[in-house]
């Protein structure tokens, strides 16, 4: 049998790819064996995703060209997002508690970071370690805070330190953290 040309291979690949949606549209009992179940990551009820891609430069999607909002879709935001729009911050993988010291070998030049929340333990830790954190030029990640006034109160207590509201779940997973307050430097994790 003669070798298949590149065109034949491409056509076969496209034909097989076209069959996958049909295979997945079937109920799990009717689906061909070997196909794993799909996991729904998000369901926005048929809402257009154009508004998510329009701000991305070079994505080939303009802000209004060919866009027709569906019923129930909110209007586009005309004001820039502010820090208050990121609140509340909830880190589901982290809670206050004791952290055992661990060695790390992060690259030189790593900016030390610390994780705190809007709670008494974090405030006490910040008061005790504040001078050390300022000397290190550490950046604080506020991983649990409910509103802007609570964040501003933390900033007042951490005068001279940069505090940013951000979920700590990704960092907690990567570093095996369960608790805060904690300092993460190039040399290790410590409380």
List, for residues 89-116, the tens digit of each pLDDT value. Answer: 999 999 999 999 999 888 878 899 999 9
* Residue 55 pLDDT class (50, 70, 90 cuts): low
3 state SS for 121-174: HHHHHHHHHHHHHHHHCCEEEEEEECCHHHHHHHHHHCCCCEEEECCCHHHHHH
- pLDDT value of residue 120: 96
Count of Cβ atoms closer than 10 Å to residue 67 Cβ: 13
Is the separation of the CB atoms in 104 and 187 below 8 Å?
yes
* Other Cβ atoms within 10 Å of 155 Cβ, number: 14
Whole-number Å distance between alpha carbons of 163 and 92: 19
Q: Where are the domains of the chain?
A: 95-190
Tens digit of each residue's pLDDT (9 = 90 or more) over 126-180: 999 999 999 999 999 999 999 999 999 999 999 999 999 999 999 999 999 999 9
Q: Which residue has the higher pLDDT, 139 or 30?
A: 139
Choice between 84 and 101, residue whose per-residue pLDDT is larger: 101
**pLDDT range class, residue 1, cuts 50, 70, 90:** very low
For all residues of the chain together, what is the average pLDDT?
A: 79
Residue 115 in 3-state DSSP? strand
pLDDT for 54 equals 60
């Amino acid at each position: 049998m003669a070798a298949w040309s590149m065109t034949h291979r491409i056509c076969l690949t496209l034909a097989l790819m076209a069959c996958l949606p049909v295979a997945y549209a079937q109920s799990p009992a009717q689906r061909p064996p070997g196909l794993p179940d799909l996991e729904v990551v998000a369901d926005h009820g048929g809402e257009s995703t154009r508004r998510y891609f329009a701000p991305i430069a070079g994505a080939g999607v303009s802000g209004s060209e060919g866009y027709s909002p569906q019923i129930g879709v909110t209007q586009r935001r005309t004001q820039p997002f502010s820090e208050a729009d990121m609140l509340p911050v909830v880190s589901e993988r982290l809670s206050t508690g004791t952290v055992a010291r661990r060695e790390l070998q992060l690259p030189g030049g790593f900016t030390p970071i610390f994780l705190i929340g809007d709670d008494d333990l974090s405030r006490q830790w910040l008061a005790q370690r504040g001078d050390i954190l300022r000397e290190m030029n550490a950046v604080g990640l506020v991983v649990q805070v409910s509103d802007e006034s609570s964040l501003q109160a933390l900033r007042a207590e951490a005068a001279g330190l940069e505090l940013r509201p951000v979920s700590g779940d990704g960092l907690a997973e990567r570093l095996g953290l369960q608790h805060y307050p904690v300092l993460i430097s190039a040399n290790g994790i410590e409380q």
